[in-house]
């Protein structure tokens, strides 16, 4: 069980550059609200808009996995120009014909991810790794 905590920490991070904020998908909304690295405006958006739709114990990973275009939080995240980094399992064959299972990362827009139905996400083996929030989207969001 100890290994799981280490793996969890690998997907609980907050990074930013000039254009975006990158959130590890294993964070729950409650944890983000406690985190000093999260901007006040983002915390305000989470508490006033996102938590209308989802429990604070929900992780970003599960929320985005099950999110539909009809949900209120979808509209909120669309305003924030969110992109989602996912990992998809893939089989690689070596020259000797050995099959190796690897994960390929792919970036989806919110719309692209929400258009993939749940059965297809499960069939693909899609894993949500990171939520990318546009700083411009955050700046222009009116609270």
Rama region for 115: left / alpha / beta (φ>0; ψ in -120 to 50; rest): alpha
pLDDT digits (tens, 9 = 90+) for 84-140: 999 999 988 888 888 888 999 999 999 999 999 999 999 999 999 999 999 999 999
Domain 2-136 in CATH 1.25.40.10: no
Instruction: Please state the separation of Cα 94 from the chain's center in Å.
Output: 32
Apex 53 CA angle, 107 and 47, nearest 5: 90
Contact 84, 132 (CB under 8 A): yes
Contact 13, 32 (CB under 8 A): no
So where are the chain's domains?
2-136
pLDDT at 6: 46
pTM for the structure as a whole:
0.88
């Amino acid at each position: 069980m100890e290994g799981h905590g280490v793996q969890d920490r690998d997907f609980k991070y907050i990074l930013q550059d000039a254009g975006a904020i990158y959130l590890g998908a294993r964070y729950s909304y409650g944890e983000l609200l406690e985190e000093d690295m999260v901007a006040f405006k983002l915390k305000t958006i989470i508490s006033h808009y996102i938590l209308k739709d989802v429990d604070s114990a929900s992780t970003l990973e599960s929320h985005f996995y099950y999110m539909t275009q009809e949900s209120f939080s979808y509209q909120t995240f669309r305003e924030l120009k969110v992109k989602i980094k996912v990992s998809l399992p893939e089989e690689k064959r070596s020259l000797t014909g050995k099959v190796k299972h690897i994960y390929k990362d792919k970036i989806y827009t919110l719309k692209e991810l929400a258009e993939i139905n749940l059965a297809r996400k499960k069939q693909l083996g899609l894993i949500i790794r990171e939520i990318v929030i546009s700083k411009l989207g955050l700046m222009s969001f009116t609270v």
